[in-house]
Amino acid sequence: MTAEYFQRDRRWHPPAYTPDYKTTVARSPNLPLLSVENSLSEITGPTFSHAGLGPLDHDLIRNFTGEEAIGERTIVHGRVLDQNGRPVKGALLEVWQANAGGRYRHKKDGYLAPVDPNFGGCGRCLTDEDGYYFFRTVKPGAYPFRSFSNSWRMAHIHFSIFGAGMTQRLITQMYFEGDPLRAQDPIANTVPDQAAIDRLVAPLDLEASVPLDSLAYRFDIVLRGRRQTMFENKLEGA
């Protein structure tokens, strides 16, 4: 049972070369990508199970030391669907982020804001039968970075998503509703269409918030869809 995936709409995604995000200038391929028909090499990809994950992997407030991290207590939740509107079950989501002060726990992060001794900054989980997932974390702080001398990243959570095959592989970033840094953020604005950036902005979800405990934000993710018709994949000599 093998069906092709919809072609990726490359005009909707950020192009490789986006000079306001200066690092792309020397790291963007100049030549056209080679478009290939889906074969087994593309429609397959790694699969993951709960056996590989730990019980606190989705809880960034407590998964580093067991003590609670400092910051705005936040739930991030949503569904992973494909372009046909079908839930993507068993999708692996990995997230990473700065702490509430905008500092990453990473050897190479030199920002002057302090690390939080109880915050690692990463988590992971699998979607359920409905494509649903949730994380618990603290809201990350904005941080400066060198694109222009006074560039800032708006608050964001990095998301890595594995769907059913390498064709659906995606890394993106989630933003928070109402962030005043959006217009100047050179990385968010690598995406050419404001409507596409809107898709990365999670609205506040008051109904999913836990009273007296945590605010919630909703982030739904769409992966590439598949055609209904199968292609043949005969084994050699079969």
Cα separation, 170 vs 93, in Å, equals 10
Nearest by Cα to 63 from 125, 147, 154, 152: 125
**By CB under 8 A, how many residues form the interface with other proteins?**
92
Cα separation, 154 vs 140, in Å, equals 9
Beta carbons within 10 angstroms of residue 77's beta carbon: 17
Where in the sequence numbering do the catalytic residues fall?
Answer: 104, 143, 153, 156, 158
**Is residue 40 involved in binding other proteins (CB under 8 A)?**
yes
Task: Mark the segment that binds other proteins (CB under 8 A) among 27-35, 66-74, 130-138, 205-213.
Answer: 27-35
Burial class (CB in 10 A: 0-12, 13-18, 19+), 223: buried
Task: Mark the segment that binds other proteins (CB under 8 A) among 68-76, 176-184, 189-197, 203-211.
Answer: 189-197
What binding mask, one character per residue, do residues 107-146 give for other proteins by CB under 8 A, x or -?
xxx----------xxx-x----------------------
Q: Find the shortest distance in angstroms from Cβ 178 to other proteins.
A: 19
**Is residue 41 involved in binding other proteins (CB under 8 A)?**
yes
Q: Which is nearer to other proteins, 4 or 209 (CB)?
A: 4
Provide the Cα torsion 27, 28, 33, 36; round to 10°.
50
Task: Find the binding residues for other proteins in span 51-80 (CB under 8 A).
Answer: 52-54, 57, 63-64
